[in-house]
Amino acid sequence: MRGLADGRPAKPERPGRVVLTVSELNAQVGVLLAESLPSVWVEGEISNLRRYPSGHTYFTLKDSSAQLAAVLFRSASAWIRFRPEDGLKVLVHGRVGLYEARGSYQIVVEAMEPAGVGALQLALEQLKRKLLEEGLLDPARKRPLPPLPRRIGIVTSPRGAALQDILRVLERRFAGIGVVIAPARVQGEGAAHEVASGIRDLNRLGGLDVIIVARGGGSLEDLWAFNEEVVARAIAGSGVPVISAVGHEVDVTLADLVADLRAPTPSAAAEMVVLSRADVSDRVAALRARLMTAARLQVSNRRRQLLDAGTERSFARATARLREAALRLDDLGTRLRARLEGRLTGGRHALEVLAQRMAPARLAERLRGQRRLLKEHEGRLPAAAGALLDRSRQHVVAYVERLSALSPLAVLARGYAICYDGASGAILKDSRTVSRGREVTVRLHRGRLACEVKEVEDVPRDQEV
């Protein structure tokens, strides 16, 4: 057997036998698979799905008795509307090839459809479930519309009928309201990004009270731009309330679910956002009537309180409070004098007891000191009692001054008067109850006047206090 130059033995040569390396065999098998199965549809359930940072997705297609490796490259995944997940039954279209490095065959997926449901419908359900988990579809986050917006933003196609419908309704209901239009395509490739950009542009512009996102009706494919995640997130992130008016009443898009309010049509959106001038006038008139009624009731209550404060009963109540204060002062003085006399009597008794228990010779000097101290106390006690009485008198004077300030007679002292009916003695409150020649009595701060009515002047109701 001949050897090679590096000392290794050469392969044995056998006539009529072709020997292939593993790489050569795998390459030939790959060619055979590509030629015999250039394109194929396969149905199966997705399992072991893995997504890589490169954007490629690897998974396994399986049925009840077999499985097949599959790869979905990033370039092909961009055309798939829904998101592949484990457990999802799908139809895949692609070419069968051999991964030569491992010697395993796989299908390179070029298209994918969900089995039993449309791709768009599945994509919509998946996105709806995702946004629901994030809370973007929660009714609690929806904001109320302003009662009378000053400026309205509209995101729609400038050439569509939806815009003309909205402008026509706004002109009819409240002409002159400010409108800012953000033009955007509402159908086709790139429409979703233009709608989302329009919403963000209007928010950056500022000064808007509400935004309307509008489009006419159409099929699911026609309205698909308003089912895109970028539009839903732009609506959720808007700083002002958003009304979704996409399609007809039967069409419900993801934008309708995220928006603060859904309108069945663009015209209905304009009806919802702006009250008519007649409605505004009626509401203002109703509020004005309620305000006037409340004001009249408040004035009536205050007038009645003022009149009650000026009656004889209030004066009698004030007099009773003054008498009660005087009685309390007398009681305090009596209690103070009794306490002082009791303390003085007790001190004298204690002194007498000590004098009896101690010898006069030993305690004469101490007794004299105690007597001096006693005399000092006797001199201080009347002064303290007088000071306490003075403070009590000051309190009484203060009470009297406060009561005098509240007295209705003090009001008369400032120039006011009370007019009584000469016959019944009732207080007169309305000039319409008095006729010319009627005798009345006017009470002043000092004294009364007997008068005869010469002229009666009525105050119109709109000038009443």
Whole-angstrom Cα distance, residue 152 to residue 319? 68
Q: Are the C-beta atoms of residues 150 and 250 closer than 8 Å to each other?
A: no
Claim: this prediction has a pTM higher than 0.75: no
pLDDT of residue 63: 80
Q: How far apart are CA 80 and CA 61, in angstroms?
A: 17
pLDDT of residue 201: 92
Task: Fold for 22-116, please state it.
Answer: OB fold (Dihydrolipoamide Acetyltransferase, E2P) (2.40.50)
Q: Are 66 and 5 in contact (CB under 8 A)?
A: no
May I ask the CATH architecture of the domain 143-275?
A: 3-Layer(aba) Sandwich (3.40)
Of 74, 76, 70, residue with least CA distance to 110: 76
Is residue 92 within 8 Å of residue 61, measured between CB atoms? yes
Contacts of 397 (CB under 8 A, 6+ apart): none
In tens digits, the chain (465 residues) has pLDDT values of 444 445 555 555 556 677 777 777 777 777 777 777 778 888 888 888 888 888 888 888 888 788 888 888 888 887 877 778 877 788 888 888 777 777 778 888 888 877 765 555 666 677 677 777 777 777 788 888 887 788 899 999 888 888 888 888 888 887 778 889 899 888 888 888 999 999 999 999 988 889 999 888 777 677 778 888 888 889 888 889 999 888 776 667 888 888 888 888 888 888 888 865 556 656 666 677 788 778 778 877 777 777 766 665 666 676 777 777 777 877 887 888 888 888 888 777 777 777 666 666 666 777 777 788 888 877 788 888 888 888 888 888 888 878 777 777 777 777 888 899 888 888 888 888 888 888 899 888 888 888 988 988 877 666 555
pLDDT at 166: 87
DSSP string, 22-43: HHHHHHHHHHHHHHH-SSEEEE
Query: How many CA atoms within 13 Å lie on the side-chain side of 343?
Result: 12
Pairing of strands 448-452, 439-443: antiparallel
H/E stretch holding 61 reads: strand 57-62
Segment (H or E) for 90: strand 89-99
pLDDT attached to residue 311: 62
Q: Phi first, then psi: give them for residue 315, nearest 5 degrees.
A: -65, -40
